[in-house]
Amino acid sequence: MGKDGFAEEAAQGSVAAGSISRARRGRLKGGRHFSAPFDQGRTWGNRFLLIKALPNAAEEVCLGFAVGKKLGKAVERNKLRRRLRDWSRQIAIKPGWNLIVVAREEAMQAEFNQLGTALEGLLRQAGLLAEA
């Protein structure tokens, strides 16, 4: 398994394709999955969010969300993570990318629509929005 082994793993799934939802297969979960986009990926940011993007071999988008402990207690961090995940489902993103969305401190006070606008703006800036 090479440096992009996590892309192959995400594309193949660790279990049978029918037994796990598409949303769960397309997730990056910490550790080795986060290291390649952080080290080698391109970065775009605004006052609420930072995006790290790295192309992958899979024909799907693999997303990971990073909300640091200094931003608040677990309940607040998980709420922000759920909001970002919801927005990522509503926005059409080009397939073939590993994306890590990093929340900044101001994101904790942002309204739901502000987060969506910020995420969509960064994806547009990065050229990662799929044509509708």
pLDDT digits (tens, 9 = 90+) for 56-113: 888 888 898 999 999 999 999 999 999 999 999 999 999 999 899 999 999 999 999 9
Which residue has better confidence, 127 or 25? 127
Amino acid identity, residue 122? L
- Exposure of 45 by Cβ count < 10 A (0-12 exposed, 13-18 middle, 19+ buried)? middle
Detail the DSSP E strand segments found in 20-96: 42-45, 49-55, 62-66
Report the predicted TM-score, pTM, of the whole model to 2 decimal places. 0.76
Q: How many CA atoms lie within 13 A of 30 on its CB side?
A: 2
Q: Provide the pLDDT for residue 132.
A: 64
Residue found by looking up tokens 């990522």 in the block: 88
The pLDDT confidence band at residue 7, using thresholds 50, 70 and 90, is: very low
pLDDT at 22 over 60: no
